[in-house]
A and B are shown apart, each in its own frame.
Chain A
């Protein structure tokens, strides 16, 4: 008895010490022997944005098919294989038409060089043979997977440059990406920055074509109409929509960019974004500008024409620029997305939860306030009801909260508003174990048992009920964790941790005291 008591006391002290060490970083920082992180606040408490994005992977598949088509066309021309048509149909399949003899050679080429494709159908068309090809299943999966991964990387780059401390960016499910931005001040701007596809294209303007006619009745083959928006000086904020007739062919894309920075031009130009091109880009741009001196070069971002300056001379320095009446913020965000590169596929926001910083602070204050009031009420109530045993239960309760916080800090759990509610709820329920024990001890005392026997039987009889009842609630907590997300998980965690610490401190913690008093043989009357 004596020995087990000493062991248990030592264990309690060790636990207290460990709990103190884990809990300390939540209040002080910078001491070498302390763990680095304390309790972290969830987005609902510190403010911030929680976004779930869906990567539209089918768009990535389409893009890849278009590139395959170009590659196939080049290959066919290089080998001198004649073909009549090479199109992509509405289902995203590649449709090749050629003469009977040509088709044989095309088939051979496909099997030899384009193993990512499989022929889905073939037959004789109106003029010659027709063949349809689609990606093989594994390639399809690869493209989708890669698109999600690359989107995630790009978004991470953008957010890093935007400047958010400790963002969370991770895959969720098959094609979704979870983005959490704690403490963000301007969620709308962040959302625009993340969601922008940022596909930059350089295209030549067709100055001889009739823009108005193309607008009315569709662009002629090989041409397309895109719009630019310009501030009209007279009407101030109102933006005017200007149509451009462009050659559909893209001469260069954002892949060619090595760096992008905001620069300040003269009075008239205002801010512009300067693009430093990589070596491939420089060569391409050099050739492009050299071949088209005097023509207009449209700079198109996500289908919108930003500017269409005239190429005055061959540009070989590997530097290009985008002008367009930017505010500083717009220019900076544009530079960020261009630097980080385009998303391989557009993203769609599926879910957004944003909490402003003031509401978060308010929630913490109110949560702490209710916690304090709740604890005081329970502590007083227990003392009044059970006197000595009530004080003991109160000590157990304080220990319980202490351990609970320490465990949450130790696991670097995230504290959410429902989580705080969980802690407060634990306060109320934690005394249940002591109530069960004390009621039992009272019964045994009434039955005329000695203090020692009453304590022994009281604990012994109460423990099964305590374990069973807490286990069922624990089960509910586990299910909550399994099915819940975000703040709910925070609640589930505090609920489960609270149950564990409750059972330990209320049952085993208080028992140490009784055993100590009983061993010293000075416990004559139980105060229960």
Chain B
């Protein structure tokens, strides 16, 4: 079986203008979204408490909200994949970590009766830890970006490294935007997923860079544009195949993995799609762009 017939010559680079427009629109949109609405920070980074409860009987989200409103705890209720499961989120000011678990149980006991519900998860993060986690999250993304760029720079050339970094930032930003749109909270596992996307975004770019380097030696007379285009086409089968197998398993995880892992799987899924696109339409045109800049 073959998806891409040998000798396929799709002039990807001639579409680079369209890719540039599409990416720019997406990135500007994401940035607008991030600066206006802002990412939905989870308790990991913002502090506060999240309680995941499951009710045995049918308790509607409205009933739960009403019960919480009467208590001093307050809290925002969110439906968690139906079936009587809800997430209750409390601000750090109203929730004392030492007692919040007990307080919420008291409220639920009063409102719905003891034993009518089960507390599946409690996550409480104090402000000090939240600040620390946020700092670590940001640092890890910056470090990863720099180190991967540096690695490619050393192994290949500076422009390849720059192309890889642009593609990586592109992928991570678009995934962030998708998270905001899908209303998923940004927490530690999501940052881990973003870093993984960064890793695999570069992975894809490396494979094409490797081919470009090889073809640069093979076809010395050809223009850089032609060499890059040939390389993209030659590795196209692999790019699609690997993305397909990865998306296959991620679909399995997304559908069957359960609610807790869903945001994580979603992040990876979007990230890999973005990675597939950016490898062809962002990273390689960037290499050409930096190449031209050098020649001038």
Contacts and interface: CB of A to CB of B under 8 A. Distances in A.
Interface in B222-239: 234-235, 237-238
A488 interface: yes
Contact of A349 (B98, B139, B237, B249): B98
A382 B6 CA distance: 19
A431 B244 CA distance: 11
Given A350-B126, A476-B148, 12 more contacts: A350-B128, A359-B260, A367-B258, A370-B249, A418-B189, A424-B249, A425-B268, A428-B246, A472-B199, A479-B195, A483-B140, A487-B189
B119 interface: yes
A471 interface: yes
Nearest to B235: A439
Nearest to A376: B252
B291 interface: no
Interface string B261-283: 10011001000000000000000
Most buried by B among A358, A384, A439, A477: A439
19 contacts: A188-B101, A350-B125, A351-B125, A352-B97, A353-B121, A353-B122, A354-B119, A385-B241, A417-B260, A421-B253, A432-B203, A435-B238, A436-B207, A469-B202, A469-B204, A473-B203, A479-B195, A483-B140, A485-B188
A191 to B, nearest CB: 7
A352 B148 contact: no
B252 A374 contact: yes
A416 B208 CA distance: 34
Interface in B37-69: 52
Contacts of B238: 432, 435-436, 439
A369 to B, nearest CB: 5
Contacts of A420: 261
Contact of B252 (A424, A432, A469): A424
B32 interface: no
Given A370-B253, A374-B253, A421-B265, A353 B123 contact: yes
A373 B148 contact: no
Contact of B140 (A188, A418, A479): A479
A385 B1 contact: yes
Contacts, number: 228
A475 interface: yes
Interface of B: 1, 6, 52, 97-98, 101-102, 105, 118-126, 128-129, 133, 136-137, 139-140, 143-144, 147-148, 151-152, 155, 188-189, 191-192, 195-196, 198-200, 202-204, 206-207, 210-211, 214, 234-235, 237-238, 241-242, 244-250, 252-253, 255-258, 260-261, 264-265, 268
A292 interface: no
A235 interface: no
A443 B215 CA distance: 14
Interface of A: 44, 52, 54, 187-188, 191, 195, 348-356, 358-359, 362-363, 366-367, 369-371, 373-375, 377-378, 381-382, 384-387, 417-418, 420-421, 424-425, 427-429, 431-432, 435-436, 439, 442-443, 446, 461, 464-465, 468-477, 479-480, 482-485, 487-488, 491-492, 495
Contacts of A387: 1
- Determine chain A's interface SS by DSSP, over half rule: helix
A239 B52 CA distance: 31
B261 A367 contact: yes
Nearest to B119: A356
B252 A483 contact: no
Contacts of B204: 469
Nearest to B6: A446
Contacts of B147: 475, 479
A418 B190 CA distance: 10
A187 B206 contact: no
A356 B121 CA distance: 6
Nearest to B125: A351
Closest 4 CB pairs of A and B: A476-B199, A428-B246, A374-B249, A483-B140
A417 B253 CA distance: 11
A29 B211 CA distance: 50
Contacts of A349: 97-98, 124, 126
A476 B198 contact: yes
A486 to B, nearest CB: 8
Nearest to B247: A428
A431 B257 contact: no
A476 B246 contact: no
Nearest to A427: B249
Contacts of A371: 252
B137 A473 contact: no
Contacts of A366: 256-258, 261
Given A349-B97, A369-B256, A421-B264, A435 B199 contact: no
Contacts of B118: 356, 358
A382 to B, nearest CB: 7
Contacts of B133: 485
A425 B250 contact: yes
A196 B243 CA distance: 53
A442 B7 CA distance: 12
Contacts of A428: 242, 245-250
A425 to B, nearest CB: 7
